[in-house]
Structure 1
Amino acid sequence: MTPDRRRLAELTGDLSAAGGVRLVTLGDGLERGIRTLEFRTGSGLAFDVLVDRCMDIGHAEHAGRAFGWRSPTGFRHPGLHENADEDGLSWLRSFSGLVVTAGLDHTLFGGEVPADGYRYPPRQIVRHGLHGRVGNIPARLTGYGERWEADRCVLWAEGEVRQAAVFAENLRLIRRIEADLGGDEIRLIDTVTNAGFEPAPHMFLYHINLGWPLLDEGARFEADIRETLWQTDSVAEQKADHLTFPGPAPGFVEQVYEHALVPGEDGMHRVAVVNDRLGMKVSVEWPAAEFPYFFEWLNLRSGNYAVGLEPSTHHVSGDAAAREDGSMIWLGPLESRVYHTTFRVS
């Protein structure tokens, strides 16, 4: 419990004794040059916002125990990213951290779709890589700091990410991240706007990646699943449990599930990973109306050990299928959509 505003002022001349937000720049290796906001709530919750990586959340821990996944790639500077490399799979060379955003006009596997809506004859098609472009675009940092609301202190950051080209999409993401001083939750509020004047396709997904030590043999996945709509062939081949997780295994092939979740009476979807041995639980909730679909990703390979929780605007079949079946979201000129997601550690 953090003291109230007056008592805290009596105890220390600097709020950073209790927590806060600090802007730093990473200085070595593949991460060199990435602006990072370090959040510390004072409860034991600490996490990094990677300003130059779509303001995604990289490292995350509670009481010194990490729960955000760290892959072998590190937090690679976006200037090193080549979107169309490796047949669109180059996204996997930048894939690490608690939250990696997919979109804004495409999610899931790559491919080609018609570009006739942009009315530029030389651009006949749009080529997409895995999970789109936005996760490797730097943000314009518009503000960060600490704000008192009576005796509640909110740590916050906000920035703008632009995904745009001449004669193509002009999409903007305004991302706001909040956490309370003394609190154990992260609030993510995203507003996606078509800043152009032609209808723009919009798909959006959060790759929420949980790793060791939260993820370990015996850790559990909790969700109110009505039905599993789809799963990869590797599920039947490997038969790894997706509710109580095994430990890492060499050569494990990713298992992916699309689950239809049952929303609570308040219209919220809720999922969690629980480690009873640590007495630690990380839960995620969001309005079902904003992200109707959900994927569970099991990457239990040795050296890449992770579980992904993935709220999504669309089914697993991707861009071309969404256009064909009419489920694609088309944002009109200056039209916006807002997304609210909360992470809790207990």
Structure 2
Amino acid sequence: MVKLHGKDFSRRDIESLSGDIRHVAGVRQMELSDGLERGIRILEFRSGTGLRFTVLIDRAMDLGDCEHNGRAIGWNSPSGFRNPALHEYEGEGGLGWLRSFSGLMVTCGLDHTLFMNSVSAENYNYNPRQQSNHSLHGRVGTIPARLTGYGERWEGDRCYLWAKGIINQGAVFGEHLELHRHIEIEVGTDIIRLNDEVINRGFYKTPHMYCYHINVGHPVLEEGSRYLAPIKDVVWAAHEEEYTAQKTGYRTAPAPQMNFHEQVWQHELASDQSGKVPVAIVNDRLNIGLQVTTRKDQFPCLYEWQNYQAGQYAFGIEPSTHHVLGNQAARDRNEMIWLNHGESKSYNTEFEILNSKQAIANSESKIKAIAQQPTEDFPPLSNNFVQIGGRN
């Protein structure tokens, strides 16, 4: 059954009310037409609960706008949803990515994440290319998708909104990786499901690194908003040498600040019995939040990003296949994922809107049952980067 407005509806009930379920929920394709966003194809999803979000087809099918009953969930940065034709991958010494950084989720990869890096390219067997030079967070987030389908699907009396696409990252004498992305939400719910598969279509042994930059803005983020996570250990902080200088710990957000320098933390998180890792950012004043659930065997690492600078106010949840140490360290520690032809890695993630005091309480209870996070704002840092096993 489809649950809408506090009532259960069968497919027959829905169809008796209107000739098209899109009077309450649906997915449709549109195109942005002005400024630096001109020409971007998007899919707009409405689940019938007040949840509306967009999928940026021409930007790796990432999640752009997101709102619930008119309250924004996702972050909109000064860069906007820039058309990828304007993107300069190697611009500004590798920091050009920051001019295309906006939205609820930006995908990082497929063969590199984190800061700029030059690593050996000997695996591509091409003498003029001795090194692979990577800019911040890789290439995939500004590659247009080939949209393979979208729409509404009925299964009995349950209806699902969905979209599928393929993002190709390839070069002659280089990597040839494909991201197969499937986004789905059941009508009448607030849970977005993201299922990704990264496949090596090439015939070189190819490195694979992957990360989601999930970005939450106002009003979910405001002074007093809390971060909830099953933290076993606080491993690392980018600001370790000035750990308390900005007086901003990992647990609670301040109001927007002047001259705030971004802070990034890596926590070692525990998983539940099924291997799932839920984390959340919640606003108790407004009774709204976002819970992100990943799998520990897919994303063994997770970073917390704090950008409380006025005019760019944001909080980030970053599940990652690798430690924050970077590309070369992943190779040195034998933690790099190497894919041969036809090999793949899959990722299954859920985004759940917490739309009530009870939903927030349920999320907090679930997370606490897995592990009790530190109660102090500035817990000691272990610098214990647990070895990631099972890599080829």
TM over 0.5: yes
- The answer as to 2:213 corresponding to 1:207 is yes
The aligned counterpart of 2:38 is: 32
Residues 220-261 of structure 1, C-alpha deviation per residue, up to 9 Å, x if partnerless?
Answer: 100110011110125432130221111110110000000000
Alpha-carbon distance in structure 2 between the residues aligned to 1:264 and 1:246: 30
Alpha-carbon distance in structure 2 between the residues aligned to 1:135 and 1:253: 24
- The answer as to 2:325 corresponding to 1:330 is no
- The answer as to 2:355 corresponding to 1:341 is no
The aligned counterpart of 1:218 is: 224
Alpha-carbon distance in structure 2 between the residues aligned to 1:332 and 1:25: 37
SS of match in other structure, 2:328: helix
Where do residues 78-89 of structure 1 align in structure 2 (5 Å cutoff)?
A: 78-89=84-95
Alpha-carbon distance in structure 1 between the residues aligned to 2:33 and 2:345: 36
SS of match in other structure, 2:12: helix
The aligned counterpart of 1:68 is: 74
Alpha-carbon distance in structure 2 between the residues aligned to 1:22 and 1:84: 34
SS of match in other structure, 2:204: coil
The aligned counterpart of 1:287 is: 295
The aligned counterpart of 1:41 is: 47
SS of match in other structure, 1:236: coil
Counterpart of 2:193 (choices 176, 187, 195) is 187
Deviation of residue 266 (structure 1)? 1.6
Counterpart of 2:280 (choices 265, 272, 280) is 272
The aligned counterpart of 2:359 is: none
Please tell me whether the aligned partners of residues 102 and 131 of structure 1 are also in contact (alpha carbons under 8 angstroms): yes
Alpha-carbon distance in structure 2 between the residues aligned to 1:33 and 1:110: 29
Alpha-carbon distance in structure 2 between the residues aligned to 1:266 and 1:327: 23
SS of match in other structure, 2:267: strand
The aligned counterpart of 1:305 is: 313
Q: Which runs of 4+ in 1 moved over 2 A?
A: 234-237
- The answer as to 2:237 corresponding to 1:231 is yes
Alpha-carbon distance in structure 1 between the residues aligned to 2:120 and 2:10: 57
Residues 87-117 of structure 1, C-alpha deviation per residue, up to 9 Å, x if partnerless?
Answer: 1000000000000000000000011011111
When residues 267 and 119 of structure 1 are mapped into structure 2, their CA distance, relative to the original with a 3 A threshold, is: same
The aligned counterpart of 2:374 is: none
The aligned counterpart of 1:129 is: 135
SS of match in other structure, 1:27: coil
The aligned counterpart of 1:262 is: 270
Alpha-carbon distance in structure 2 between the residues aligned to 1:79 and 1:210: 26
Alpha-carbon distance in structure 2 between the residues aligned to 1:339 and 1:184: 20
Alpha-carbon distance in structure 2 between the residues aligned to 1:260 and 1:101: 21
Q: CA RMSD in A?
A: 0.8
The aligned counterpart of 1:21 is: 27
Please tell me whether the aligned partners of residues 235 and 255 of structure 1 are also in contact (alpha carbons under 8 angstroms): no
SS of match in other structure, 1:237: coil
Alpha-carbon distance in structure 2 between the residues aligned to 1:232 and 1:207: 17
Counterpart of 1:53 (choices 52, 59, 66) is 59
The two structures have a TM-score, normalised by structure 2, of 0.87
SS of match in other structure, 1:135: helix
The aligned counterpart of 2:158 is: 152
Alpha-carbon distance in structure 2 between the residues aligned to 1:127 and 1:236: 34
Deviation of residue 198 (structure 1)? 1.3
Please tell me whether the aligned partners of residues 67 and 211 of structure 1 are also in contact (alpha carbons under 8 angstroms): yes
Deviation of residue 6 (structure 1)? 0.6
Q: Structure 1 stretch 235-244 or stretch 158-167: which is displaced more?
A: 235-244
SS of match in other structure, 1:69: coil
SS of match in other structure, 2:311: coil
Please tell me whether the aligned partners of residues 48 and 57 of structure 1 are also in contact (alpha carbons under 8 angstroms): yes
The aligned counterpart of 2:106 is: 100
SS of match in other structure, 1:7: helix
How many residues get paired?
346
In structure 1, stretches of 5+ residues that fail to align are none
Please tell me whether the aligned partners of residues 257 and 295 of structure 1 are also in contact (alpha carbons under 8 angstroms): yes
Residues 20-64 of structure 1, C-alpha deviation per residue, up to 9 Å, x if partnerless?
Answer: 001000000000000000000010110000000000000000111
Deviation of residue 148 (structure 1)? 0.3
Letter of the 1:326 counterpart: N
Taking only the aligned residue pairs, the percentage that are identical comes to 54
Deviation of residue 128 (structure 1)? 0.2
Letter of the 1:273 counterpart: I
The two structures have a TM-score, normalised by structure 1, of 0.99
Alpha-carbon distance in structure 1 between the residues aligned to 2:294 and 2:154: 25
